[in-house]
């Protein structure tokens, strides 16, 4: 009975691709890259069950986090836990840096929206934020802003 229930949950490549909003060729590429290895039926067709759905979801989430296929493969390969942790630490550092840049960009936009200066380039705080982003010493800020 269990094998019948499992079989009923298994779908082909087109169905699983549709479930996740992907093109079937993406799943084939992930398989060729070693990220997926769906079992085959008697006719050689790929069959995707719950375990494969989880792997597809993991790949998608990792890609959303900015990871490349090689890093994702390192995570999904049962092997050295130290390698997996190192991969995750490296990605964490990338994401922290990205988050810091996004916070700085948001601060600049929010200040621009709330600024009382009619011409934003006259605002000392805006100039400071631009200077910080550009990595330019203070005297050059006015020149940079005049070139906008």
Nearest to 68 by CA among 91, 86, 99: 91
Rounded to whole angstroms, what are the CA distances from 93 to 88, 102, 135, 140?
A: 9, 14, 21, 31
Tell me the per-residue pLDDT of 93-122, one tens digit each, with 9 for 90 and over: 999 999 998 998 898 889 888 888 888 888
Q: How many CB atoms are closer than 10 A to CB 59? A: 24
Sign of CA dihedral 95, 100, 103, 109: negative
For the chain, what are the domain ranges?
Answer: 1-77, 99-148
**Model-level pTM?**
0.67
Mean pLDDT per 10-residue run, the chain (148 residues)?
Answer: 54 95 97 94 94 95 92 85 89 93 88 87 84 69 60
pLDDT attached to residue 2: 46
CATH match of 1-77 with 1.10.10.10:
no
pLDDT attached to residue 55: 93
* Calpha distance 117→58 (Å, rounded): 48
CB 127 within 8 A of CB 145: yes
């Amino acid at each position: 009975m269990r094998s019948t229930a499992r079989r009923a949950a298994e779908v082909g490549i087109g169905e699983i691709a549709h479930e996740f909003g992907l093109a079937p060729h993406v799943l084939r590429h992930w398989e060729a890259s070693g990220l997926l290895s769906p079992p085959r039926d008697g006719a050689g067709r790929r069959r995707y069950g719950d375990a494969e759905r989880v792997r597809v979801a993991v790949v998608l989430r990792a890609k959303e986090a900015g990871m490349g296929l090689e890093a994702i493969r390192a995570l999904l390969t049962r092997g050295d836990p130290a390698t997996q942790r190192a991969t995750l630490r490296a990605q964490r550092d990338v994401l922290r840096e990205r988050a810091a840049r996004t916070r700085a960009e948001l601060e600049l936009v929010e200040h621009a929206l709330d600024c009382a200066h009619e011409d934003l380039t006259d605002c000392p705080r805006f100039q400071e934020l631009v200077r910080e982003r550009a990595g330019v010493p203070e005297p050059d800020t006015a020149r940079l802003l005049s070139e906008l």
